[in-house]
Amino acid sequence: MHPLSPLRQELVPAIQTNERHDAEQTIDRPILEVMEEMRTQLRMIDGETKAFYENSYRYLREAKNEVHKLRENNRKLRKRIAEHESVTDMVLDCISTEEWNKRLSNCTHLLASHVLERFDDEVAKKMNQLNLLRYQTRLKEARNGKLTTELNMLRLQSDQIRHTQLGHGPIMQAIRSVENKIEKVTLKYNEMLHIGRTYVTIRDKLQEESFTYVTTADAMKTEIERCSRKLAELRPTYQDAELIRDKTKTELQRHEELLYAHRKRNELEISSLRRLVEVKKDKPVPQKNPMMDQELRKLDVEGIGDEVEEESTSEPQTRLSFCNKLFEDMKQVTGLSELPQIVKRFENQQETSTQLGLLRVHNDDELKRLRNQSRELKQHLSTIRTAYDERKDRQKSLEADRRKLLLKEQQKFKDLKDTVDVMEKQLTHVHLVIEHLYTKLCLVRIASKRDRAYSTVRAKELLLDLTIEDLLERCLELQQQLQSDLEDYDLLDEEEKLDEAMGESLRTRNEYQVTVERRVPINAARIEIPTKDIAFADEPEEGDQDVLTRETLKQRSRMIVEHAKRKVIRNSRSRRQANPFN
């Protein structure tokens, strides 16, 4: 029996149950897991079928070799038996001649017929003894053959057990190969599960992102619109602030220049007045300083090109006129008439300029930040859109590939199922053929009807317990035994015996028929051959009431045959009683 056939028998119902449950679990489970499970099952079925074929071929090859060896051993044993029988026949012939001479010397007073009958009885006894011895030798030879086959089988089993214990046998190699295949399949299965889980997490993440993508995009869009509206509202104020700042800057610069010129002029006047005071103290002749006059001309704000002839009379008037003009300009600019209000206005303008500068810096920073944020949001939006499109296309391609693979695997599964059905049908046919051969071989070996009926019942009981391999081995053993039984069977002698028996039966039949016809009375009825059709034979006729039926004639003939048998038995008994040698 094949060592992996039970595993195959266990896998077939498991695969059928998986087929029933796969249709229910495809909704809850992902497609990748179902496909990978189908692949693993198909790979296991392929591996088991290949291993089953290889091991069956190997076992058949080993069985053929063993059969060849056993046939050679049987030939050698038959030769030895033939030599032994030839020697025993010679010894028996020698012994029989000596005994016959002694008995012939002792039987001189008897008649020739009595001596011949006595010798015939002795020869028959010896022949019966010889046949008994031959039968016993054949039984012993058959027993010896069975024991030798059992011994060889035990030796083979012990060798296989030793090889399996050492780990060098074909069974252990097959087990190791199956274990390696199982480990590889488990590793691939775990890897497949990991890949399936990663794909499932990616799909879930994409689904979550697809659900929240619209809301995030709308929120970002509203935020950008709000910022753009706020910028549009702040832009005119910013432009007004820039204009005011530029105006204030120009005014401040002009006022600074005026103040610087006024301070410089005051310093020059003070220095000139000091020199005048010193000169008046010393009473020297007053002299003009050309450098000072040149600087005073440069620092004149109005650009008056009048030359001061007399410094003591023109300088206070020009200074007063300059101050008056400056004061009038400040009144026009500020719109105020009093000096404290103008000073307060200038102070307020300075504070507003500082506040506007701070506001401008803050607005610039905020504008830069918003621009950077809008740029980043646009980039992020574009990347999200591209990633979503790519993942969507990839998901579509993966789904198409999965559908194609699923269709291919379903087609392969159908083909494998058809092949498995065909193989199962072939296996059932082979099993039936082997059972038929086994029953026929069991019937061929038995001679009597009782043994034949017992053998059929026993064969049916054995067929329920044996497998195909065991039945095949039994068939081969029965075939070998039948061949060994038929070797001593002489066909020509049996045909001659059958012809003689047929001739004797015909002669006895003819003699018996003549005696029966002689004893039948003249007025006995004869059975006529039917001239009518058989279909209308059951119809009753009016003239058949006085004619004897077939059943009555059969009963009469049976009674006559029994009477003749009894007469023959009585005659044989009387002859035996009259014969003194029996």
**Rounded Cα gap, residues 549 and 315, in angstroms:** 191
Computed from CA positions of residues 260, 261, 267, 268, in that sequence, does the dihedral angle turn out positive or negative? positive
**Rounded Cα gap, residues 140 and 99, in angstroms:** 29
* 428 vs 167 pLDDT, higher one: 428
pLDDT-wise least confident of 77-86, 558-567, 572-581: 572-581
Phi/psi for 288 (5° steps) reads -90, 145
- Surface-to-core class of residue 438, CB atoms within 10 Å of its CB (0-12 exposed, 13-18 middle, 19+ buried): buried
pLDDT-wise least confident of 282-296, 456-470, 510-524: 282-296
Highest mean pLDDT: which of 4-8, 29-33, 307-311, 541-545? 29-33
pTM for this prediction? 0.25
- Surface-to-core class of residue 51, CB atoms within 10 Å of its CB (0-12 exposed, 13-18 middle, 19+ buried): buried
**Rounded Cα gap, residues 428 and 451, in angstroms:** 29
Joined together, the tokens standing for residue 2 give 């094949």
pLDDT at 369: 86
What would the pLDDT profile of 45-91 be if each residue is shown by its tens digit?
A: 777 777 777 877 787 788 888 888 888 888 888 887 777 666 445 44
**Block residue for tokens 């050698």:** 76
Q: Where are the domains of the chain?
A: 218-391
Cα 405 to chain center, whole Å?
14
- Does 153 have pLDDT greater than 80? yes
Question: What's the one-letter identity of residue 343?
Answer: V
Question: Which of these, 250, 266, 276, lies nearest to 323 by C-alpha position?
Answer: 266
**Rounded Cα gap, residues 384 and 209, in angstroms:** 9
What would the pLDDT profile of 87-105 be if each residue is shown by its tens digit?
A: 445 444 544 555 656 655 6
Contact 287, 311 (CB under 8 A): no
- pLDDT cut 70: percent of the chain above it: 69
Please, which pLDDT band fits residue 443 given cuts at 50, 70 and 90?
confident
pLDDT at 86: 62
pLDDT at 309: 44
The H-assigned helical ranges of 446-490 are: 449-465, 468-487
pLDDT at 105: 60
Cα 250 to chain center, whole Å?
89
Contact 12, 383 (CB under 8 A): no
Please, which pLDDT band fits residue 106 given cuts at 50, 70 and 90?
low
Phi/psi for 248 (5° steps) reads -65, -35
Cα(first)–Cα(last) distance of the chain, in Å?
A: 60
- C-alpha angle with apex 428: 424 to 433, nearest 5 degrees? 145
**Rounded Cα gap, residues 373 and 381, in angstroms:** 12
Average pLDDT of the segment spanning 362-371: 85
**Rounded Cα gap, residues 134 and 123, in angstroms:** 16
- Does 449 have pLDDT greater than 70? no
**Rounded Cα gap, residues 257 and 321, in angstroms:** 18
pLDDT-wise least confident of 204-208, 483-487, 558-562: 483-487
The H-assigned helical ranges of 283-338 are: 290-298, 311-334
pLDDT at 29: 57
Q: Extract long-range pairs of 68-77: CB within 8 Å, 24+ residues apart.
A: 70/149, 70/152, 70/480, 71/480, 73/148, 74/145, 74/480, 74/484, 77/141, 77/144, 77/145
State the DSSP H helix or E strand holding residue 73, giving kind and residue range, or none if neither. Answer: helix 31-106
Provide the phi-psi class of 167: left if phi over 0, else alpha when psi is between -120 and 50, else beta. Answer: left
- Does 211 have pLDDT greater than 70? yes
- C-alpha angle with apex 465: 463 to 468, nearest 5 degrees? 65
- Does 113 have pLDDT greater than 80? no
Joined together, the tokens standing for residue 259 give 């103040």
Contact 171, 3 (CB under 8 A): yes
Please, which pLDDT band fits residue 462 given cuts at 50, 70 and 90?
low
* 578 vs 514 pLDDT, higher one: 514
Average pLDDT of the segment spanning 106-126: 70
pLDDT at 276: 80
pLDDT-wise least confident of 103-107, 286-290, 512-516: 286-290
Cα 183 to chain center, whole Å?
13
**Rounded Cα gap, residues 358 and 360, in angstroms:** 5
Please, which pLDDT band fits residue 304 given cuts at 50, 70 and 90?
very low
Instruction: Give me the chain's average pLDDT, please.
Output: 73
Give the count of beta carbons closer than 10 Å to the beta carbon of residue 471.
Answer: 19
